[in-house]
Structure 1
């Protein structure tokens, strides 16, 4: 009940976004809000871009059909890959079954519960780190750093548990100091997730989808996330019984794969307005092959780079 109350009260204090206001016809309020967000009065160009994007999105009748178009292949890929990898980091294994894990590696009942509380606190504090640095260091940096940090910690935990319990799991309880070392590695792992794949797994999809496909793409993003949350929660205990310490290596493998995926396929979106995100894909070494000149004339090659410039160049029908 307490978290529900916090969310309910917080929702009353949550401000509307300029995009939301424009879509509901509150243009003057949206402009005032945009000035407050940017801290400057000269926001006309960005405001006009937002209005043009909103008008273009209203003309879209089939967002699901549009999402399957070739030019939205990068967006569809990210809508599936990011939430998939987010759950295959193994974070929910830690958060759902932390008391079980800590009791297994040597903590008593009360101590294991306290250890779970500790990991929760670490998660919250590390998320605050992400809030502060995400626009300073960039999304890719946090994704990559967090992935490497989680990979190292999972391998370390697997080695610690493997050396003590082996494959039969009958080596008795861990010494206190040994168990504390394992908990420290797990906390470092949780912090790595909390300032990278945790918040960014939701932030990046929310800012890369154009308005005309956002509803469909976000639906896929959330659905994939929830489906794999369910699957991981259901199979974890069975996997723990069969794989023992190898379970951490299983998730470490996916952390390695997702880190490589981000390095090669996820462009940096820091400080890029949503309505100009197409430029990022157009200039990417791989995704540019899906962004044809027919769909986005001139973008990324010295041509118009914003909705306003595209309109001036008689590209009104080709708004992003």
Structure 2
């Protein structure tokens, strides 16, 4: 029996009474699906902490351990500058990039749920291999398996959430993925803190990645596939049953099912979705699929997400303080995602993007000035006592701005703007761009930190200014709009209407 809360929706374009209804079934289903964010979040949190553990460096990267020891009296920004070490982090994103087109095809042919299951199983195997790694080859191979798991999961889960959630509350439900991502980051940071002093600590940190993978995979066995996916594969009876379950037993789902069938027919007419997405009428979707994940990575989040312990260790804070800072930042990020969950469907996507962008820009400029004053132009001075706390404060404000804007919205916007005819392909391009940008930045971040020093934060600040202007000018508001009616948003936009007008 489905329990429902009736909530009106002033923004519903088609008058569908189900747009604001939250049933117990859809609530549980979305929580289970969103738990897929745990695996990516855990990996993000674990990587930076592990790469500062002496036992890990001495076993797999002895030259880096020696370099870090010798850097104490020279340029601290270059303490961990090693392409071999950054490959440990960035190799996951190469695998994720390769997995994206495969996941796109599997999502269309086998459904969202099955791709989530496959991604969880592969991630579990990769975690086991990393925990048992005896050499660098096993370590990198395990990272590649983790990347394939993340690639499958990151593609299937956001689409699943956007298709199951009621239109009025799609933002809140879709940010659930990033909320669990934040839980994963915070959990990993805490584990790193408690095991860092042990010689086997890195094995436990890496091996425990299997736990969130198991939670997500087991949970996925008990949820239904989305109505859109079932219609797409011709399973209309199952699609109707799925709609009734997630919308409530007393709901009239005929109109929504008809919209899904019509969208599916249009999707089937596009025999080559990869070619279709480059058509003029799909120009705004394509631009957003590329620009939003690209811009997200150039907010400088790599500094915080992957290398917070490295950054604090590099400026002389010590490993204990560095791992403590990572925990604090993880907690701030998680709290800010909760804020986004509450307000994203009330105030819209654009406002959060703009406020978050301004907040992050100010913090990046402040961080650059602070590091210049504290460590000197050459980066040879150890950061004075008290300055490290101020550094953490600015990073926390930055992380909060990112946490309620570009963090959840980068997943939400691409998952809701694509019509069914190009949804799998569009999300695949979005994920591929995200993994490509993340790979490049994570691979070269430590080298950039070594050469640009404090001005690296100014570099990211300039990008934040550019992306905030982009949002103001080109991104329309999508709050409360049913997926099947999303094209109407582009037709009303001052710029994009010239591409989509009259071509729906």
- Indicate whether the TM-score tops 0.5: yes
Partner of 1:230: 439
TM-aligned CA deviation for residue 196 of structure 1: 1.1
Change (3 A) 1:187 1:14: farther
Contact 2:367 2:391 in 1 (8 A): yes
Aligned pairs for 1:199-210 (under 5 A) are 199-210=408-419
1:183 partnered with 2:392:
yes
Change (3 A) 1:31 1:173: closer
TM-aligned CA deviation for residue 219 of structure 1: 1.3
Q: Distance in 2 between matches of 1:100 and 1:189?
A: 17
Higher helix residue share? 2
TM-aligned CA deviation for residue 40 of structure 1: 7.1
Q: Distance in 2 between matches of 1:10 and 1:126?
A: 26
Runs of 4+ in 1 over 4 A off after TM superposition: none
TM-aligned CA deviation for residue 218 of structure 1: 1.3
Partner of 1:258: 467
TM-aligned CA deviation for residue 18 of structure 1: 2.8
TM-aligned CA deviation for residue 42 of structure 1: 4.4
Aligned pairs for 1:4-153 (under 5 A) are 4-12=213-221, 14-23=223-232, 24-25=235-236, 26-36=238-248, 41-153=251-363
Worse-matched range after superposition: 184-193 or 262-271: 184-193
Contact 1:267 1:281 in 2 (8 A): yes
Partner of 1:158: 368
After superposition, give the CA deviation of every residue in 1:217-261 in whole Å (9 maximum; x if it has no partner): 111111110011010011111111111110000001111111110
TM-aligned CA deviation for residue 145 of structure 1: 1.3
Contact 1:162 1:245 in 2 (8 A): yes
Partner of 1:308: none
Q: Distance in 2 between matches of 1:40 and 1:253?
A: 52
Q: Distance in 1 between matches of 2:394 and 2:291?
A: 27
Contact 2:298 2:460 in 1 (8 A): yes
Q: Distance in 1 between matches of 2:266 and 2:242?
A: 17
Change (3 A) 1:291 1:15: same
Q: Distance in 2 between matches of 1:198 and 1:108?
A: 28
Q: For structure 1, which runs of at least 5 residues remain unmatched after alignment?
A: 297-320
Aligned pairs for 1:268-283 (under 5 A) are 268-283=477-492
Q: Distance in 2 between matches of 1:14 and 1:254?
A: 40
Contact 1:34 1:43 in 2 (8 A): no
TM-score by length of 2: 0.55
Q: Give 3-state SS (helix, strand or coil) of 1:88's partner.
A: helix
Q: Distance in 1 between matches of 2:408 and 2:221?
A: 22
After superposition, give the CA deviation of every residue in 1:251-287 in whole Å (9 maximum; x if it has no partner): 0111111111011101000001111111110010010
Change (3 A) 1:27 1:241: closer
Partner of 1:240: 449
Change (3 A) 1:46 1:219: same
Partner of 1:313: none
Partner of 1:303: none
TM-aligned CA deviation for residue 15 of structure 1: 5.0
Q: Give 3-state SS (helix, strand or coil) of 2:306's partner.
A: helix
After superposition, give the CA deviation of every residue in 1:178-210 in whole Å (9 maximum; x if it has no partner): 211110110111121121111110110011011
Q: For structure 2, which runs of at least 5 residues remain unmatched after alignment?
A: 1-209
TM-score by length of 1: 0.86
Change (3 A) 1:6 1:181: farther
